Structure 1
Amino acid sequence: MNILLSIAFVLCWSSGFIGAKLGAGSASAITVLMWRFLPLAVVLLAVALVMRSAWRGLTARDVTRQAVIGLLSQSGYLLSVYYAIQLGVSSGTTALIDGVQPLVAGALAGPLLGQYVSGRQWVGLALGLSGVAVVTLADAAAGTDAAWWAYAVPLLGMLALVAATFLESRSRSRVAPSVSLTVHCATSAVLFSLLALATGAAAPPADAGFWVAVAWLVGLSTFGGYGLYWLILERSGVTEVNTLMFLMAPVTAVWGALAFGEPFGAQTALGLAVCLAAVVIVHRPGARPGQTEQPVDQGGRDRLASVPCPAPSPTDPNHRLSGGCSGR
C-alpha cells in the first residue's frame, strides 16, 4: 500500500472525530449531520447530471445496494459517533472504541471472503488491539461525565461499518466511486433531514463555528476519509485497510489533546507506539494481505470491492493480481 495514501487516510478519517467534537459545541448531532450531507448531496447530484456516463448500465438493484451500504457506512456509523460525543464521550475514547473494528473485520475476512490471513497479520492485529487497550485504559482513568451505556454507542457504529465493508466486498457489479459516493451521501441526506425535521432540529445555529465544522467534515472527512477508505480497500484488501484503523485511536487522542485539552500522558504515548508497531508488522514489504493464488474471473466478477482501479483494464485476467488490487 502506498504510504502516502495510508497517512492521508488516517488523518482524514481521524478528522471526522475532531469535526464531530467541533460541531457538538454548537448544535445537536442530527443538525450537524443534516447540514453536512444536505448541501453535499445537492452538489454531487448536480455533478451526476453532467457526468451521466458513470451511471450507464446501473440497475435498480445496484443503486439499492449502494443505498444500503450508505445507510450502514455513513448514516449508521456517523450517527453513533456523533451521538456518543454528544453524550459526553470524548473524541479520543470514541475512536478507541471503534478501534476494535480491524479485529472483527480481520477475523471475518477468511470465512466470508475467502481471503488468506497470514500469521504475521494476526500478530499485527493482536498487537494493535493491545495498543488500543492501553490507550483506552489511560483515557478511562481520566474520567468523563458520560453514562456507562454511552460507550456502547460507538460499538454499534463500528459494527455497521464492518457490515458495509463486507457487503461492498461481496458485490459483483462495478460501481464508479463518484456514483457510490453520490448514492451514499444522498441516502444520508434524506435520512438525517427526516430525523432533523421530526425532532425539530433542522434549523442551523447562528454560529460561524458551526459552519466551520460543517466545511471541515465535508472536505476532510467525507471526500478524504470515505474516498480513501474505499480506494485502499480495493487496492489492499479488508485486513490491511482495517489494520490502519488501529491508528485512528492514538492519532485522534493526540489531536484531541492538542485541540481540546483532552488527557494525553505516558500511557497514551505507549499505546500509540504499540499501534504503530502493529501497522509496521502488517505493512512491511512482502506482505500480501487479502490475496490468494486463486484465479480471478476474467470479467472482474470475483473481486473485493466496487471501486475501480486506475489501470489496467478490468477485462485483463491478471488485472487484480498484478495491478495492485486484491482478489479473492
Structure 2
Amino acid sequence: MPAVPARNATRIAANPRWHRVSRTPPSLAYGRPIAPASTTSTRPTAPGSLAVRATPFLFVLIWASGFVVAKYAAPYAEPLSFLLLRYTGVVVLMGSLALVARATWPRWRQAGHLAVAGIGIQAGYLGGVWAAIAAGMPAGVAALVVNLQPVLTAVVGWLLGEPMGARRATGLVLGFLGVTLVVSAKLTTNGLSVLTVGLTTLALVAITAGTLYQKRFCPEFDLRTGQVVQFAASIVVTAPFVVAFESFRVTWTLELAGALAWSILVLTGGGISLLFLMLRRGAASQVTSYFYLVPGITAVMAFGLFGEQLGWIVLAGMAATVIGVALAAGGRVTQPAEPAPTPSR
C-alpha cells in the first residue's frame, strides 16, 4: 500500500467521512478474512489465585466440623428442634447483614428458585441425616449413604448435559471406595430400619436435587439475601415436623450455646457460603466430589477431640479419597464461551 503524504494525512484526519471508512468490520480488514471466534473454550472453572484454590479445603474443614457439632448438641436438644433454632439464627444474622449493607433482594421468580433449592440443601438434607441418627442409625452408615451424593450428582448432571470424562468418573468411584474404608469400622446393621434408611435416602436425594437445581436455575445471587430466603423456606418446612414429632425441649448449656453459635456463624455463614461460591464456578459433580474428604477429616477431628482411634484402614481410605478428589475435581471443564461482539457499522 503506497504511503500517504503528510499534508494529505492531515486532511484525512479532519474529514469525518474517512472515519466511517475506518469502521470496516475486523473480518474484512486488510483484505483477508479472520477466522471467527470459537463458540466453546476450555478454561479452568475458577481463577488460579491462592484464595480460590484454598476455598474447597477450607469448606471441607468447616463442613466436617458439623458432625462434631451434632455430637455436642445431641444431649441437650432434639435434632429438628436444634435445626429450627439454627435456621432462625441464620435468618436473623443474614437478614441483619443484608439490611445494613442494603443488599439486593431477589425478585419473586428468583426467590422461588432459591426457596426450592434451599429446602433440598438445608431442610431435606440436614433434617434427614439428623433425624435418621436420632432414630438409631449409626453415624458411619449415614455418612456412607449420603456420600453417594457425588456419584448421584455426577450421573444426573451428566444426563442433564454436564461434561464428565473418564478421569472424573474414575475419581468419583475411587473417592467412594475411600469413604467406605474410612467408615468401615463403624458400619453395622444395628439401627437399620425402613425409617432410618428412608430418612438417609431422603437426605441424599434432597441435597443432590437441591444442588443441581441451584446450579441450573439460580447460581448467581447475593449470599446474604439468598440465604435469608433459603433458610426461611427451611423453617416453613421443618416447623410442622417439630410440632408433630418433637417436644421442642431445649436444655440451655454452654455446650449447646457454643454448638448453636458455631452452626450459625461458621457452618452456615462460612461453609454454606463457600459451597455456593464453588457452585458458581465449577460443575456440580466437580464441587460435590469434595464431600468425599469430609469423613476422613471428621475422623481426624474425633481423634483429637474425643480420643477415637485411627487405624490403618482409615488412613488408607483417607489416602484413596484424596487421590479420588484430585482426579474428580482437577482438570478443566469445557464451557460455552461468550460470543464475539458484533462489529459496529
For the superposition of Structure 1 and Structure 2, which TM-score range results when normalised by the shorter chain?
A: 0.7 to 0.9
Match runs of 1:277-296 below 5 Å: 277-284=323-330, 287-289=331-333, 291-292=334-335, 294-296=336-338
Moved more, 96-105 or 45-54: 45-54
Q: Secondary structure at the match of 2:171?
A: helix
Task: Give the Cα–Cα distance (whole angstroms) in 2 for the partners of residues 82 and 154 of structure 1.
Answer: 9
Q: Secondary structure at the match of 2:58?
A: helix
Match for 1:136 among 170, 179, 183? 183
Rate the CA distance shift 1:96–1:252 in 2: closer, same or farther, 3 A. farther
Rate the CA distance shift 1:163–1:122 in 2: closer, same or farther, 3 A. same
Q: Secondary structure at the match of 1:170?
A: helix
Equivalent residue, structure 2, for 1:307 = none
TM-score, normalized by length of structure 1?
0.80
Alpha-carbon displacement from aligned partner over 1:127-152 (angstroms, at most 9, x marks no partner)? 11211222333321xx4752344245
Match for 2:92 among 36, 42, 45? 42
Q: Secondary structure at the match of 1:201?
A: coil
For residue 14 of structure 1, report the CA deviation from its aligned partner: 1.2
Q: Report how many aligned residue pairs link the two structures.
A: 291
Conserved in 2, the CA contact under 8 Å of 1:134 and 1:270?
yes
Equivalent residue, structure 2, for 1:19 = 69
Conserved in 2, the CA contact under 8 Å of 1:95 and 1:249?
yes
Rate the CA distance shift 1:25–1:176 in 2: closer, same or farther, 3 A. same
Mark the runs of 5 or more structure 1 residues left unpaired by the alignment: 299-315, 318-328
Conserved in 2, the CA contact under 8 Å of 1:20 and 1:85?
no
Match runs of 1:299-318 below 5 Å: none
Conserved in 1, the CA contact under 8 Å of 2:77 and 2:249?
no
Mark the runs of 5 or more structure 2 residues left unpaired by the alignment: 1-45, 47-51
Alignment partner of 1:69 is 2:117: yes
Equivalent residue, structure 1, for 2:234 = 188
Rate the CA distance shift 1:182–1:243 in 2: closer, same or farther, 3 A. same
Moved more, 16-25 or 222-231: 16-25
Alignment partner of 1:247 is 2:280: no
For residue 173 of structure 1, report the CA deviation from its aligned partner: 7.7
Match runs of 1:1-328 below 5 Å: 2-55=52-105, 58-112=106-160, 114-140=161-187, 143=188, 145-149=190-194, 150-171=196-217, 174-199=220-245, 201-262=247-308, 264-284=310-330, 287-289=331-333, 291-292=334-335, 294-296=336-338
Conserved in 2, the CA contact under 8 Å of 1:34 and 1:192?
yes
For residue 203 of structure 1, report the CA deviation from its aligned partner: 4.1
Alpha-carbon displacement from aligned partner over 1:262-317 (angstroms, at most 9, x marks no partner)? 45322111111100111222344xx113x33x33479xxxxxxxxxxxxxxxxx99
Conserved in 1, the CA contact under 8 Å of 2:120 and 2:209?
yes
Rate the CA distance shift 1:172–1:210 in 2: closer, same or farther, 3 A. closer
Conserved in 1, the CA contact under 8 Å of 2:97 and 2:224?
no
Moved more, 127-136 or 225-234: 127-136
Task: Give the Cα–Cα distance (whole angstroms) in 1 for the partners of residues 219 and 212 of structure 2.
Answer: 14
Rate the CA distance shift 1:200–1:242 in 2: closer, same or farther, 3 A. closer
Conserved in 2, the CA contact under 8 Å of 1:41 and 1:185?
yes
Q: Secondary structure at the match of 1:206?
A: coil
**RMSD (Å), alpha carbons:** 2.6
Rate the CA distance shift 1:153–1:297 in 2: closer, same or farther, 3 A. farther
Rate the CA distance shift 1:92–1:256 in 2: closer, same or farther, 3 A. farther
Rate the CA distance shift 1:139–1:172 in 2: closer, same or farther, 3 A. closer
Q: Secondary structure at the match of 1:3?
A: helix
Conserved in 2, the CA contact under 8 Å of 1:106 and 1:117?
yes
| Structure of greater Rg | 2
